[in-house]
Amino acid sequence: MGGDGRAAVGGVVERIVEAGIIAILRGLAGRDLERAVDALLQGGIEVLEVALNTPRALEAVSSLSRNLAGRALVGAGTVLTAEEACAAVRAGAAFLLTPHVDEAVIQAGQREGVPVLAGALTPTEIVRAYRAGSPLVKLFPAGSLGPRYLALLRGPLPQIPLVPVGGVDETNAAAFFEAGAAALGIGGSLVDRAAVREGRLEVLREKARRLTALAAEKRALRCPRGGEG
């Protein structure tokens, strides 16, 4: 990857961390997907992940990345192979997430010029993912061990930015940020499929507003602005 590619990857990583929340879209298609995305955007969400085990996922990545250019960052998740990684990037994915550490997938992302957030749970897996080229490591499934586990990992591994995913919701989001999360990936607890199908889109909007406000608050505490003088 040349200098321009590294700069592009760095820009995407910075945007994910700046946004703080990745909304995970799984099991929604067609009009339901459109309505869910509209509600999330109205609630302040700026980063979206389409899980590849969703029907017509690549079509969704393509249409969303095209229609939301300049408004939101669209990536693909549940990427299991290098072939899926390449297909997702061709469809327009700006970043990729995996549930596991696979050097072939990370290398495919590097060749295509997009960051891969590889899924890892143990210290060994986390270091392996980071050394293989994952600039942000997806801590998965984070909810099973909780914010305290993240805080303990940050002791020996402060240089590795971690993004908790799996079991993250409004009840523990603040604690994950306080434990040192670079960002959070939130799926079903934010993108409530039943609420979408029943037309209760305000549920998504309000959850998105609360979570993005929390992320902004934690970001401000992490990076205080200097005073005058």
Q: What span, in angstroms and rounded, lies between the C-alpha atoms of 99 and 224?
A: 33
Which CA distances in Å does 148 have to 12, 81, 187, 216? 28, 31, 21, 22
**∠ Cα 68 72 75 (to 5°):** 95
Q: How far apart are the first and last CA of the chain?
A: 42
Which positions are annotated as active-site residues?
49, 138
Three-class SS state of 96: strand
